[in-house]
Amino acid sequence: MHANAAEAGDTTSALQGIVDLQRYPITQLSGDAGQALIDACRRQLAEDGCVVLERFVPEEALARLERETERLSPEAHYNQNETNPYNSSGDPSLPDSHPRNRFDDRTNGFVAGDRIDDSTIIRQIYRHPDFQRFIATVVGVDEIHQYADPLADLVVNVLREGCQHPWHYDTNEFIVTMMTRQSEGGGRFEYAPGIRSPEGENFEGVQEVLDGDRSRLKSLDLKPGDLQIFFGRYSLHRVTPVEGQRERHTVIFAYAKEPGFIGQPERARRIFGRMAPVHERMLSEGRTRRSDSLAD
């Protein structure tokens, strides 16, 4: 809906009222204030792999933002499984205390992207070229692309009482999320920045975290309207079990470095309980591997 405005150069008005452009001048990154914002975000990401932009959505839009995900939340498909931090099978050659053999319950609900219409705040932010340019600049790439996957491009994560996302790493290099609704209790985002690296898994350090050592942990109390950019590939992280009757809602903005990204059909079936026609075509044509080497 705002693509024409953006093409005409009226990018500021397209985001006016749904992003706090005075505090976060993402439409004017070349200016002094825009460059200061970029520098601050990059410093924070370099320090611990995470930056939170508080009240990215201004006060007057917060109620509408929360109503959006409340309206969408009944569409969530819930899936439950036991997982270790590596989303892999256990290793019987290792002791039970080893992180590869430490499994915990993961129960999540996800609203698929094809249930989120163009009139929503979250869809308008997700597809806006200035928002995409801002994210790309912060994470240090020339450009990012919306997923071509109609289910996984823009997703609402719904956690009801007892749901949690236990200790894990992300397979994507970065993830962009926005809290839209807090739970009554629990649902805290905790992470161990840079606990592993391309040079090593640091199983000993991971085991210490799994055993309850909190000395290297950071904890975030995210609030509705907060935008989070997180490098979760090397930082172990979790969302603690949600407490109370109030659901926890978080929007996931999914981007890739290359155009045309489509998730694996089996992952779509597991996460969303169904596949889109593009996934069915992939199966029928035997195209279950993507051109990139990233795992889902």
Q: What is the pLDDT of residue 13?
A: 67
Whether the CA torsion 105, 254, 150, 114 is positive or negative: it is positive
pLDDT in tens, 139-177: 999 999 999 999 999 999 999 999 999 999 987 889 999
Q: What is the pLDDT of residue 11?
A: 57
Q: 195 near 234, Cβ under 8 Å?
A: yes
Name the band, by pLDDT with cuts 50, 70 and 90, for residue 291: very low
Q: What is the pLDDT of residue 173?
A: 82
Q: What is the pLDDT of residue 44?
A: 95
Q: What is the pLDDT of residue 266?
A: 86
Q: 52 near 220, Cβ under 8 Å?
A: yes
Q: What is the pLDDT of residue 12?
A: 65
- pLDDT above 90: residue 201: yes
* DSSP category for residue 19: B
Q: What is the pLDDT of residue 288?
A: 59
pLDDT in tens, 88-140: 899 999 999 999 999 999 999 999 999 999 999 999 999 999 999 999 999 99
Q: What is the pLDDT of residue 171?
A: 78
Mean pLDDT of 268-278: 92
What's the whole-model pTM score? Answer: 0.89
Q: What is the pLDDT of residue 172?
A: 80
pLDDT in tens, 211-238: 999 999 999 989 999 999 999 989 999 9
Q: What is the pLDDT of residue 3?
A: 41
Question: How far is residue 84's CA from residue 104's CA, in Å, rounded to a whole number?
Answer: 6
- Residue linked to tokens 């790493």: 169
pLDDT in tens, 53-90: 999 999 989 999 999 999 999 999 999 999 999 988 99
Beta strands in the chain (DSSP E): 50-53, 77-83, 104-111, 145-146, 154-159, 165-168, 175-181, 185-186, 189-192, 218-220, 227-230, 236-239, 242-243, 248-253, 255-256
- pLDDT above 80: residue 51: yes
Q: 198 near 169, Cβ under 8 Å?
A: no
Mean pLDDT of 245-261: 94
Q: What is the pLDDT of residue 87?
A: 85
Question: How far is residue 130's CA from residue 133's CA, in Å, rounded to a whole number?
Answer: 5
What the chain holds in terms of domains, given with CATH numbers, is 3-255 (2.60.120.620)
Token pair in block for residue 278:
């593009």
Question: How far is residue 125's CA from residue 231's CA, in Å, rounded to a whole number?
Answer: 20
Locate all alpha helices (DSSP H) within the chain, ordered by sequence: 3-7, 11-15, 32-48, 59-72, 121-127, 129-139, 203-210, 265-272, 277-284
